[in-house]
Amino acid sequence: MPILEVNSLFKNYGKVQALKGISFFAEEGEIFGLIGPNGAGKTTTLRIISTLLTPSGGEVKVLGLDVQKDASKVRKFISYLPEEAGAYRNLRGIDYLKLMAQLYSDNKKEAEMMVSRAIEIANLGDRIYSKVSTYSKGMTRKLLLARALMHEPKLAILDEPTSGLDVLNAHEIRKIIKDFAKEGKTVLLSSHNMLEVEYLCDRVAFIHEGQIVEQGRPEELKKKYGVKNLEEVFVEAVK
C-alpha cells in the first residue's frame, strides 16, 4: 500500500478550478516531487494532503486514512512545512524546538528525544542557543525543517524547501531531505526548481494549470522525450 494516494482530486475557489482531477501516489522511502510553475496548483495540493484545505472532489489517503474523515489520525503521521513558514523570532532556537516538541510528544522523555534529534538535523552548532531573530534565512529554514522532521513523520510534506536560499544552504537542506528518506520515510515536495527536483526525487509529477501533464522517474522521462533535463521535459509535456 502506498504511503500517499491522491485520486481524482478537484479544488474550486468559486468559479476558479485550481485542481482538475489530479492523481498520483508516493511509496515508502520515496522522495516524490510535484513540480510546475507558480499558480499551477502545487501548494493547494499540499494543503489538502496536510488536512488544511477541504477538496471539492476526489480522495486523498495517507496510510490508508482519508484526510477528510480521519484528519486527526492523519496529522499524527504527517508534517507540513509551508514555503513561507516562520519561527518565533524572540525565542532562542533551542526554546523553539522545545516548544514544538511539547506539542508533538506525549511525555517528557519523548520530547527530549525529539529535541535532540532536531538539534542534530538543524546542525546549527552553538547558534541553536541564539535568538531566531539573529538567524540568516538559511539558518531559519534549517531550524524549521528540523522542527518538521523531529517527530519522524511517515510523510513529510515540504513546499519549496530551498526557496530563496544560497547554494550552500540549499545543498545542506537537500542533504537533510535525502538522509531522512534513507530512513524509510516518505517525502512529498513541491518545487519549480527543476534541477533540484532532478537531484532529489525518485519520481516526479508535472502539474500545469491544475492538471498532471506527465509523471514518472526523471531518467525515464528524459529518455521518453529525448531531452537532457526535466525543464525540457516540462516544456515538451505542456505543448
Residue 165 lies in a domain: yes
pLDDT tens digits, residue range 45-100? 999 999 999 999 999 999 999 999 999 999 999 999 998 877 788 899 999 999 99
CATH number of the structural domain spanning residue 59: 3.40.50.300
Residues 157 and 231 in one domain: yes
Residue 212 lies in a domain: yes
Is the separation of the CB atoms in 67 and 61 below 8 Å? yes
pLDDT tens digits, residue range 188-218? 999 888 888 888 999 999 999 999 999 999 9
Residues 157 and 141 in one domain: no
Residue 26 lies in a domain: yes
Residues 162 and 108 in one domain: no
Q: Predicted confidence band at 165 (pLDDT cuts at 50, 70, 90)?
A: confident
Predicted local confidence at residue 196, as pLDDT: 86
Residues 162 and 72 in one domain: yes
Average pLDDT over residues 214-231: 95
Give the residue numbers spanning the domain of 16. Answer: 4-77+153-237
Residues 16 and 72 in one domain: yes
pLDDT tens digits, residue range 9-45? 999 999 999 999 999 999 999 999 998 888 899 999 9
Predicted local confidence at residue 60, as pLDDT: 98
Burial class (CB in 10 A: 0-12, 13-18, 19+), 28: middle
Residue 49 lies in a domain: yes
Residue 157: name the closest of 27, 22, 45, 24 by CA.
Answer: 45
Residue 89 in grid coordinates? 523570532
The total of structural domains in the chain comes to: 2
What is the three-class DSSP state of 41?
Answer: coil
Question: Of the candidates 102, 123, 152, which is a domain's last residue?
Answer: 152
Residues 15 and 122 in one domain: no
Q: Which helix (H) or strand (E) holds 21?
A: strand 16-26
Residues 161 and 148 in one domain: no
Supply the pTM of this predicted model.
0.94
Average pLDDT over residues 153-176: 92
Chain centroid offset of residue 11 CA: 19
**CA–CA gap between residue 85 and residue 3 (Å, rounded):** 25
Residue 96: name the closest of 137, 135, 144 by CA.
Answer: 144
